[in-house]
Amino acid sequence: MGGAARPARHVVWDWNGTLLDDNHAVVAAVNSVCAGFGRPSVTLEQWREVFSRPLVACYERLLERPLSAEDWATLDALYHDEYRNLLDTCRLADGVPDRLHDWRAAGNTQSLLSMWFHHELVPLVTEFGLADLFDRIDGLRVDTGGGSKAEHLAEHLTQLRLDPADVVLVGDVVDDGHAAEQVGAACVLVSTGVTNRATLEATGLPVADSIPAALTLINRMS
């Protein structure tokens, strides 16, 4: 995968599994789906092994069956109902918000782009006291998720009037790397979310084990 050719001064942060430590809620939500479809529960490591986008294909592998539109609607409700039940138990990742304040204080900029629903994302980020750190916050503006992040990233950067060559995306899944590559931005992946480190490393992109480590890599890239 390619990356930006010049120093990146703007970070686009992912939310779930990156700035938000929500792995326990994700696994519980996945296991709600498993129970609803008669499959044994999985561990975080097992989910990391199977996770990929598009999500429909991912869940078809997990459940070992094709999914109709009706199945997907049921699955989506099972997942999000359980995840929302546990959302208030989730915490910010190590180094957040202190290192984000440091990045901004150094004269850099940052924004937030998530595949979580926009109308829920903004209040949550605000509740955590992070909203003022970001030049823009974008979440998913459709009823169900599962698509690629690339088109959302392209629109996000257009709205910010940023040259992708000045940008580095930080996220926890391979799709973040693909999205960055497609728009011409750099990317650092973090192993804190739903993808195991070996899979992230296979992209050829830099991989960090924490937000502070990711920012250290970004500063070295600059």
Distance CA 62, CA 27 (A): 13
DSSP single-letter state for residue 17: T
Tens of pLDDT, residue by residue over 141-159, are 876 654 679 999 999 999 9
| Closest to 48 (Cα-Cα) out of 218, 163, 198 | 198
Task: Identify the three-state secondary structure at position 48.
Answer: helix
pLDDT single digits (tens) 37-81: 999 999 999 999 999 888 999 999 999 999 999 999 999 999 999
For the chain, the straight-line distance linking the first and the last C-alpha, in angstroms and rounded, comes to 18
The CA distance from 212 to 91, in Å, is 16
Q: Report residue 49 as tokens.
A: 């092994």
pLDDT attached to residue 3: 45
Predicted TM-score (pTM) of this structure: 0.93
CA 39, CA 47: separation in Å to the nearest integer? 13
Checking if the pLDDT of 102 tops 80, the result is yes
